Every structure is written in structure tokens, then in C-alpha cells.
Amino acid sequence: MKSIFACAAAAALSIAALTTSASAQQKLEFKFVSAAPPKTPWEAQINRFRDEIARETKGEITMVPYINSVLGSEQDTILQVQNGRLESGGFSVTAGVQIVKEMSLLAGPYVWESEKQADCVLDNFLFAEYQKLFDKKGLVLTQWSEVGWVNVYGKKPLLTPADAKGYKVRIAPAASSKVFWDAVGANGVPLGVPDVNPSLQTGLVEGGDFPNLTYVAMGTGKLAPHLTLTQHQHQAGIVVFNKRFYDKLPKEQRAKIELVSSPPHQLRVEVRGVQAAMLKAHQAQGGTVHTLTAEQLATWKKAAEPAQAALVKDIGGDAPRLWQLIQKAKKECPV
């Protein structure tokens, strides 16, 4: 009898161990990386994504965010998502071009006449196109997000392209940034986002361009206090997953992750809604915001106009076809 009970107890323990093991195998943890500075709408959106995944999956899936470039620059971490060392992340167009060079078209100088136009073209004409391009590179593009308008900043006012001629500026590691600054005659220095503030402090650069949120949240405005509202670029953001990781997810888990992803419209509204507040915060800290006259803005647009053709040529690949698609789509979208 003792032997029977001992065998029964051992069997029960084995079943419990197997059940526990199976339960543990059902749980999933993945990393989500971003350059988003703390206390910004981007951080709030990432944390909401994390919390909704945990709630919707009843703890089966845990997303672990790493913001503020703590695991490296955008350019480094998007490559790590591609090779599978990281599972997912939210990135700017500037980072996206590391994988799909045709992403630079979306941030070309004065491509978009309004946010409304950009949203319409991105959602209705370009999303599927870029999904295919990312898929070929081992990434799954799950949604657009929002970075916002990009404006010029400097240690001195940069009101016209003439003010930027020969000026030492940070160039983002993307063709769209290089062709813009080349067109206005600036002396460009390629730098990742984490290197911008140290380079302003040492004098390696004296200006550059940033989305308003990044400019204020990173403290760049304290080092180069003159912000000029050129609005020469509009940057969408992207959310991507490593394709091998994503494809291996059970359909139920993948569906739940997709279910809790906020729609692009919501992400855009949240980011755009704080733009004015960030500019006021910059001014309250002693910074200056320069609103251009129609004549001044016209000089920027005229100087940057040749950069569009230069950008398409520089990118090559599928850029000419996509550029034509963008031009056609703009005619079908409201300004």
C-alpha cells in the first residue's frame, strides 16, 4: 500500500510539474525600445500599450519598455530588432531608413502641405507599400505613429537660408536631412540623437533641426535657444516587430497585441495636442520661437525645392515609383 501511495504521489507531483511548466511556457515577455524622452506623450503611449497588453492577455504577455535610448541610439536598436536581439520598438523615419531607405521620402523637404494631407496619404496609399518593404527586410510594420513637424534651431536665429550658409549643423543619419541642409549651404555633421547635446556643448555643431517635442524634452533648447518654425519636414513614426518573433506568436496572442494597438489617429492627436504647450515651455525657459513671415518661408521653400529631386535620386531603389505614387495620392487627399 505504501508503495502504491508513493507512486500516486510521485505521479501527482509529475503532473503538477508538467502543468506548471506548460503554464510557464504560455507566458511571453518581449522588449520594446524607443528614443522617446521621459514625460512625453510617446512615453505615455508606450506605457499604455504595455498595460493594455498585460490586461487583455491576463498577464500571459509582458511588454518591457526601454525608452530614452537606454539600449542605444535609434539607428542601433532598429538593427537589433531586425536581427532578433530585440523584439520590437517605436522609431522615427530617421531610424526607419536604416532598414528601408525609401522611408526618407516621407520626410523630404516640404513634401507635405499639411498634417491632414500627410495622414491621408500615409494611411490610404502608403501603409501597405511600406509593409511589403519592411517584410522583405525581416520586420513587421504594424502601425504608423507620430513624431511631428521638424523645425530648425540654432545658437543664433536662422530666419532665412542665408543665415544657415556655412553654419555647423547636426545632420540626421538620413538622406532627407542631408539633402535639405546641403540645399541651404550648411556645414553638416552627421550625428545620432544621443550625441546632439554633447556636440552643442563642445561646439562641434551650433544648430540643427528637431521635432518640437524632442527639442524641448531633451533640453536641446537650452543649448541652442533659437527655434525657427520652418516646418520643412513632417515625420511619421513606425512601430515594428522582428518578423521571426512575430510570425512564431500564436494567432491568439498576435491578435491580442494587435487589438490593443492604438489607432494612428489617436497617437497623432495626443502628440500634436502638446505642441503649443511645449513651445510655451521653451519660451518660459528663456528660449525664443521665431515665426516666419510669408516671404521668409518662401525663401526656405525655394532653397529646398531642388532637394526633392536630389532625394529621390540619392535613395534609388523603389523611390522613383513611390515618389510618383505620393504625388498622385496628394491630389486625392485634402490639404
Q: Calculate what percentage of the chain has a pLDDT beyond 70.
A: 92
Confidence of residue 51 (pLDDT cuts 50, 70, 90): very high
Main-chain phi, psi angles of 130, to 5 degrees: -75, -30
Using the predicted structure, report yes or no on whether residue 24 has a pLDDT greater than 60: no
Per-residue exposure over 76-96, b if at least 16 CB sit within 10 Å of its own CB, e if not = bbbbbbbeeebbbbbbbbbbb
Position 269 confidence tier, pLDDT thresholds 50, 70, 90: very high
- What are the Cα distances from residue 335, in Å, to 116, 149, 237? 6, 15, 20
Please report which confidence band the pLDDT of residue 118 belongs to, taking 50, 70 and 90 as the band edges.
very high
Is residue 4 scored above 70 in pLDDT? Answer: no
Q: Per-residue pLDDT averaged across 193-222, rounded?
A: 95
Homologous superfamily in CATH for domain 27-332: Bacterial extracellular solute-binding protein, family 7 (3.40.190.170)
> Any idea where the domains of the chain sit in the sequence?
27-332
Of the CA atoms within 13 Å of residue 177, those in its CB half-sphere come to 26
pLDDT digits (tens, 9 = 90+) for 241-268: 999 999 999 888 888 888 888 888 999 9
Residue from 296, 323, 295 nearest 307 by CA: 323
- The string of pLDDT tens digits covering residues 121-142 is 999 999 999 999 999 999 999 9
Q: DSSP readout, 66-120?
A: E-TTTT--HHHHHHHHHHTSS-EEEEEHHHHTTT-GGGGGGG-TT--S-HHHHHH
Mean pLDDT of the chain: 90
Q: What pLDDT shows up at residue 46?
A: 96
- Checking if the pLDDT of 307 tops 70, the result is yes
Burial class (CB in 10 A: 0-12, 13-18, 19+), 106: buried
| pTM assigned to the model | 0.86
State residue 26's pLDDT score. 65
Does residue 12 register a pLDDT over 80?
Answer: no
Higher pLDDT residue, 89 or 12?
A: 89
Where does the chain show beta strands of DSSP type E?
Answer: 28-33, 61-66, 88-92, 139-154, 168-171, 187-190, 207-211, 226-242, 288-290
Write down the pLDDT at residue 263: 85
Mean pLDDT of the 27-55 span:
94
- Averaged pLDDT for residues 172-190: 94
Greater confidence, 81 or 16? 81
Tell whether the model's pLDDT for residue 8 goes beyond 80: no
**pLDDT confidence tier of residue 3, bands split at 50, 70 and 90:** very low
The band of 275, judged by pLDDT with boundaries at 50, 70 and 90, is: confident
One-letter amino acid at 132 equals K
**Contact (Cβ atoms closer than 8 angstroms) between residue 233 and residue 176:** yes
